[in-house]
Every structure is written in structure tokens, then in C-alpha cells.
Chains A and B, each alone.
Chain A
Amino acid sequence: MFSYGRLSAFALGGVLLFAQSALAETRSYAVSWFTQAMNSQAGDCPDGVNLPWKEHRLKILRDYGFTGEQIEAMVQEELAGKGRSPIQAFIVMRGRMNGQPVSPYTYPATVIDPKLHYVKGAKTSYGFNLDGQEGPASFIDPDTGEKGVDNELSRALGCMREFRGSKATPPLYWEWTWGQLKSNQPAWLITIEGDDLGSDGDVTVTFDRALEHLRHNIDGSPRKDVTYRIDPDPRSHNVYAGRIEDGLVTLTAPGTAGINLLQDPLVAVMFRMTKVNMRLGMMSDDSLDVMVGGYQPWSDLYFSFAGGGAANESASTGDMPGIYYLFRRHADADPDPATGQNASISATYYMRAIPAFTAAPNLKRPTLAAR
């Protein structure tokens, strides 16, 4: 008969078989779910959740000085369905530069700030205390109880319908983008290496991108134990020193490194954050539960939203220049030396990952990529 321990290691990280050291244990995973970490609660938007897009447009018209009668006429014309909607025609060119209409998506600062509501009433949000400070506005992580949590992105977007959500009911925007990307965007890979991942000790955590997309089972669930080739592109290669305790991996030197992973332009060309902290939980079903926090250039997010233009605004994100103003208001890092405007916003992302085999590219035998 076969020893179960041997097989278990074999199954959970096939690369183990090919690793040099007999002591080292390696487990590889493919990211099977990616979303902004949100923890929306009743009452966290005391000013109200922002209106659905179709109604919100009418508020924009009012902001721009249209009268109630004018707006009603435009609504009737749109409902009659003859030709192009006059509301939409105005909305998609509502920017004003030198008095001329311009795209509000390309030039968000030329749009009147709609002053979208944001989270004011929440005490909790997922993430990490990135700056080491505990202010009156900082959050408490609902899972770990960590205080001083910096997650201004959740504050900025937390009253947008498209971004409200929780671990159990993910924000619609992120559910939609994942649905668009999961079967074609090259998967992200996470590898954890240590002497013995079953006991406490030092580990190395690596994030890479694969050459092929995530594979799924016939019921749509992510498929375990598929072999992925690691993309040799160094831009997506990230290594962290960490420590495992009771199956939970944390970084030994949080805030000292960033994360960079090529992504699909639908979300961002590059998923990047600085001063990263993270925790990776090895779950009993062999999956990995990951929270990654750091400072993200908010322009990365904004321009990926804006890339979808009017269609994105009406279907996926809501008021786009409004989001631009939210980002500017809540950005909390990397001030511009001249203007003082912060270029980055604290953010936390939630990932799940499933066991996978990983292989260095162009090798017939799977092995770990060189460190």
C-alpha cells in the first residue's frame, strides 16, 4: 500500500516531487477568485447609497442647470425610443473644456463634482494597518480585529451600488470582471515554500503569473491540480519572506515590498500596490484564502474604469467622474510634491486560490522557477 502522507504532499504540491531538498515542502496554487475586499453593512452610508445610474443621470442634469420641465421632456423623449436618447447624448459629453463639450471619462476633472456619497458610518473594513497609525477614521479588520486598518478604497466606493458587497455576496463590479476574465486572462499563481508547512516556521511566498488561464470543472467551479506554466516575465514575479503559524502565513517584513502582477486591461494593465502586507490562510479543503493590502495608484483603477467609457459607466461602475473625485478625496499616500494631491489609495484585495502544479516555462518537467 501507499503512504498517505507521501501522497498528500504529492497531491497538494506536485512540484515537491521535483524539488532538490528532501526537507522542503512546496505548495502551489492558482488564484480562483479576485475581488476588492468589501464589508458593506447596513447603516454605513448615512447619506444614503448613491442612486441607480438611470436615476442618478437626472441628478447630473440638475447639477448642470437643466430645469425640471426640461428634464421631464428629455425623459419622455428617451422613453419614446425614437433615435438617440437626449439624456445619454448630454451625459457622454458632459465635460467642459474652454466651454466646449469633452469626454467626461478622459477628462473627469472637467466635470462638475457630483459629490457622491461615501462610507461614513462603518467601523470595520478588511485590511492592515499600513501606516502604523490608529486614527479616529481608521477601520478595524472584522476577521483579525487588527486596529488602524487603512482601506480608503472601501470607504470611497462603499456607497456605490456596484461596489457594495461582502465576502459572501461579492461586489457586482468585481463579480462581473471576474466572470469576464476567469476563462481567458492568464491565471495568477501563488507558491508557498517551507521546511514543513504542517508546522510553524519560516516560509517564502511567491506570486507569479501563468501562461494559461484558470481551468474550470463542468459545474463552473475552479479545477484543482491543473498544471500551469509560470510566465518568465519578471514584471509579475514577487517574492516575500513570511512565517507560517497554525496554517496562517504572514509577512516577516510587512510594508517593505510591493506587488506587481500583469492583469487584463479590463481591470488594470498591472495590478500594483506598494508597502504591501498580506495574510494567506491554508484552509482545510486545501484552498488558500488571501488578503493583500497596500497602496494602489488610484489612476490605475480610474483609467481601467474609464477605458470602458459610457457603457462601463451605465452598466458596471456608475458615475465615473464622480469616482474620480472620490479617489482624489480619499487617496491617502504618495502626495504630489507640488500640489499635495495623494496619488495612491490604501486598498485591500481578497483572493482565493486552489491547489495547482506549476512549471517553469519551456520545461518538459515541472520544477520551480529560479528564485
Chain B
Amino acid sequence: MFHRSLRSRFAAGGALVLIIVGGSAALVPQKPEAAALVPAAHAPGPATVRRLSADQYRNIIHDVFGRSLDLGGYFEPDLRISGLLAVGSGKVGITPAGMEQYDAMARSIAGQVADEDHRAQMIPCAPKSADAADDACAGAFLARVGRLLYRRPLSEDQLEAYVDAAAIAARTTGDFYQGIEFSLAAMLSSPQFLFREARTVPARGSVHVLDAYAKASQLSFFLWNSGPDLLLLEAAAKGVLDRPRGLSREVDRMMESPRLEAGLRAFFTDNFGFDKITSLTKDAAIFPEFSAQVAEDAQEQTLRTILDVVLTRNADYREIFTTKKTFLTQQLGSIYRVPAISDAPNGAPDTWQEYEFAADDPRAGILTHISFTALHSPAGRGSPTLRGKALREIMMCQPVPPPPGDVPFNIINDTSNPLYRTARKRLAAHAANPVCAGCHKITDPIGLALETFDGQGKFRTTENRETLDTSGTLDGVAYQDAAGLARAVRDNPATTTCIVNRLSAYALGRATAPGEKAWVAHLQKAFADGGYRATTLMRAIAVSREFYTVSPPALEQSASAPASTGETR
């Protein structure tokens, strides 16, 4: 009986495939299963008002107006909280300088929509006169795009305001289309567009649920990293999303859409901190091969590798740590020192090629990618500590405390000291300081396994002519090299609990609350039962009632207490 209810709620519309991957089933935390489904135990966190990310802004504009539009403008910096920009997006505002940019972009977009090249295809009607206001035509256009931009139908007052605004501007300028332009620009600068408004309605018990349109947004930003399409808004309007079967059907539709890739890309880009890769630079005197293009390609390489595992092959998520298959450009090939052929003419940009690292190649999985080894290294050398810290925090959700303020790092930084020719020796000397030893024990042994990759991610076997020792243990599991470490990470239970915590926090826009533990445990089980497929986990989140359930507004302050980090140690 319990199982049937689980299936109907979390696996409707698709057969639940149970695959026990060699030995890993034992790693699933054995939680009291009943907890997952006892609604009384579910004490949700607050609804979040998230600022659109740059990609979400771009995606919506392209979805609504097509790809021919040039956005112009740049975005305010994001904020990373609990390891995710998606969580930070619920904490950031819009500064006056940022508003100037949003306004500039809004005018640029609106100007293009209303210009002579685009107006015929963008605006569904022609005005009675091009040099006067036409409320009927303006209203038709603004209601249509307004619904997509606000992600819900405009209220009567809202629509009237925008139609009035278009009329005023049309009269001022003597041009209907400028009226449309300025009214649309104002809409694109409105908080309803720039923030994800989370309207809620009271539900049974002492909780609230997102209203139908907020549900649609919750779903589409999670799965597509963009606003709802017309079908989803229609489903919201008809109350389809309020019914488990209807919700499940919509989720199926959305997960079969090619836009799921954008959603997965957005999550992994956020989770792996790839926002930092665009500004990653190396000391050109030491790593002259590390160009901005290499950094950009390195991120794309890892995303393509992950998407190949989790989407194209819909395989066990943990394969991303061990897969030999990847994708390369010429620039990356020259750092990995493997052939990567272009099939483009001379001078054309690099092209992507599928590549399989040989069985005995030292590379395996994303930890050995440039996007990991180079991103988590200082400009002029590699760093076992930074890499170990990144592995713990990003892949295993185990926060590592920052170093105390007054520790000297001169031994670590001096890679030319003949006494300490390898990082292992430098760190050993450094960790003789007991203040440091505690944390370095957490990070260094695993980071040292990656020492065969230098600061830009190029393979080496020695440092200062001394052969590198890459052996170590991860939580009691011994390994000899990076590939062994990768297998240990794959098999570590923290790896799977971490991705569940991260993806649910990413979906909610906040760390999960203590009262949502049972839900997270349920997701964990669904993930394990589904053979650790990322799509199974996404689906489990998307179809669960808890995803749309929030604390009542009055409770918001107490529920946002910092205790709810959602991270495990």
C-alpha cells in the first residue's frame, strides 16, 4: 500500500525502473521511510522572491520575442549562498546602477520589438493609425506578452495601466509604435518581471501553497531555467497543476522537451561554480597556454560530459566522476595533449569532438577536467588544499572552515624551495602548525591525489623533478591515484546525498528547512531506487506536493533562521 502510493505520487506517467548499481545500493541511507509521506511532519520553509538570473532573463526574452533580438546591457553580480547562486537569488535586490542597466536593456529590447523589422511579426494587430494611440491593438499586444513576461495574466488594473501608458507615449511622440515600445520597456523594468513573484494561497493544515501560476513558474524555472510557455500557463489557468495526475503529465511534457537541457545546464553551472570560470586567469609567464577560450571551453567540456551522462544516456549520475568519455576542442586537446580534430575551415572557431580517454589514461571523470583542477588552483600553481576543499564542499556538501587569519602561507606559496619540492612536502611542513592541521586533514589527502594535474590542469608525473605520490584515503577508502579517488568519490554516500540536497535547494531557491527533512529523505530514496538518474531525481522533485508548499507568510521570519543550511557534515 505504501509503495503504491509512492508510485502514484512520484512515478506516475513513467515506469519506475529499479536498477541496483554494483554495490551502491548499500550506500543509500537507511531512513525510516514512513517519514517521507507523513504530511504532519512536513514543516516547509518560506516562499522565495527570486531575482531573475542573467540566463533566465535572456531565456525569457528569447522565448517570448525570438532569438534575433540583441539584449545589450549587463547584469548585476550574483550572490552565492549555501553553495548556490539560485539560493542567493532570493536575497539580492536591484541597486540604482543595476536598475539603469535593466532599464537600458528593456529599452533596447522594446525598441527592437517595435522597430520596422520586427513589428509585423511581434505585434499581432495593426493600429488604426500609425501616428496615434490605439488601445485595442495595444491592449491585445500587451496582454499577450504581459502574460508571458509576468508569468501570469495581468490584472485588469495592470493591463489598463500599460495600455494607458502606451496611449500617453503614442500621443507624446505621435507614434503608435513608440507607445508600444515605451510601455513594453516599462513592463520589462517592472518588479513582476525582474523578480519571481511567489503568490501563495492558504492550504489545509497550517501551510500555504503556491498559487497555480507561481507553481507554473516554480516548475519551468526549475526544469527549463525560463518562464512558463503558453501551454503551461494554460494548464495553470485550468487548475491542472493542482491535480497530481495533471501535474505529472505537465512534468512529463516538460522533461521530454529539448529545453530540459537548459535547465540541467543551469543547475550544474551553478552547482560547480562555473560563474567563476569566466574570470579565471592564470599567470601567463607560467601557463601561457591558458587562454580565456580555454577557460570557456573547459566549462563547456564538463557540461557536455555531464549532459552526456545524465541526459543523453540517462545514466547513473555518479558516472560523471569516472566516465572516460568527454568532448574536446583543439585548444583543450593541446592542454590535455591528445588529438582533437577540427572539421571546420582554416580560421573558423574550434569545433567540438567526442573523445574517449584511453583506459590507462590518467583522466577519468570531471575531477580530472581542467574545469575542476584549474578552477580550484591559484594563478601560478596547483593547490591540493583548494581542490580538496572544493571537492568536499561542491561534490560532497561538507563545508570546510576558512583558514584562521594569521597563518603564514610562505611555505605553501614557495614552489621553488629545494627542501620542499612537492606540494605534499610543503603541506606537511605547513600542517606542522596544529592550528592548520585539523582542516588540512580534511582537504589535503584528497587534493594530493590530483597533484598530477598542474595549475592549468595539464598532466605531469613530477614536481621539481621529484615523482609525485598521489596515494591517499577518502573517508577510509584507500586509492593510488586520481582515478582511484574518482571511484572513491563516486562510491561515497555523501556524493549522492549532496546532489539531492543541492538540487532541492536549487529548485526551492533556499536551503531546505529542518521540517523538510523527510521530503529530502524521500527524494534520496527515489534517487537511489531510480538508479541515481538525475532525471529521476528532478522528476521526483517536480511532481512532489512539497515542492509547492510553503510556510504561511507570517511564519516567514522564524523559518528563515540560519540553522537551515541543508548541508551535512
Binding site for B on A (CB under 8 A): 1-2, 4, 6-7, 10-11, 14-15, 17, 184, 186, 211-213, 215, 217-219, 221, 223-227, 229, 357, 359, 362-364, 366
Contacts and interface: CB of A to CB of B under 8 A. Distances in A.
Contact of B339 (A1, A217, A221, A357): A357
B481 to A, nearest CB: 6
Interface of B: 284-285, 288-291, 330-331, 333-335, 337-343, 345-347, 353, 358, 360, 362, 459, 461, 470, 480-481
Contacts of A213: 346-347
A4 B461 contact: yes
B470 A226 contact: no
B341 A227 contact: yes
Contacts of A10: 337
A357 B347 contact: no
A2 B482 CA distance: 11
16 contacts: A1-B461, A2-B461, A14-B339, A211-B345, A217-B289, A218-B284, A219-B285, A223-B334, A224-B289, A224-B334, A225-B335, A226-B330, A229-B342, A359-B341, A363-B341, A364-B341
Contacts of A359: 339, 341
A53 B470 CA distance: 63
A218 B290 contact: yes
A94 to B, nearest CB: 39
A227 B346 contact: no
Contact of B288 (A7, A14, A221): A221
B330 A184 contact: no
Contacts of B291: 217-218
Contacts, number: 76
10 residue pairs, one from A and one from B, having the closest CB atoms: A217-B288, A357-B339, A366-B339, A219-B288, A227-B339, A225-B334, A226-B334, A11-B337, A14-B339, A225-B337
A218 B362 CA distance: 26
Contacts of B333: 225-227, 357
A335 B494 CA distance: 82
Contacts of A15: 339
B330 A366 contact: no
Contacts of A212: 342, 346-347
Given A212-B346, A217-B291, 4 more contacts: A211-B346, A219-B284, A226-B331, A226-B333
B289 A227 contact: no
A215 B339 contact: no
Pick the most buried of A2, A184, A362: most chain B CB atoms within 10 A of its CB: A2
A17 B359 CA distance: 13
Pick the most buried of B285, B341, B343, B360: most chain A CB atoms within 10 A of its CB: B341
A223 B458 CA distance: 14
Contacts of B346: 184, 186, 211-213
Contacts of A362: 343
A227 B470 contact: no
B405 to A, nearest CB: 34
A215 B362 contact: no
A284 B200 CA distance: 70
A359 B358 CA distance: 18
A363 B291 CA distance: 27
A359 B289 CA distance: 22
Contacts of A363: 341
A190 B326 CA distance: 29
A215 B341 contact: no
Given A2-B360, A218-B288, A225-B334, A366 B461 contact: no
A1 B459 CA distance: 12
A305 to B, nearest CB: 25
Pick the most buried of A1, A17, A224, A363: most chain B CB atoms within 10 A of its CB: A1
Nearest to A220: B288
A364 B355 CA distance: 10
Nearest to B362: A2
Nearest to A10: B337
Given A212-B342, A227-B341, A359-B339, A1 B330 contact: no
Nearest to A18: B339
Contacts of B343: 362
Pick the most buried of A221, A225, A364: most chain B CB atoms within 10 A of its CB: A225
Contacts of A11: 337
Contacts of B480: 1
A186 B333 CA distance: 19
Nearest to A226: B334
B342 to A, nearest CB: 6
A186 B362 CA distance: 33
A211 B343 CA distance: 10
B341 A229 contact: yes
Contacts of B334: 215, 223-227
A212 B331 CA distance: 13
Contacts of B338: 14, 357
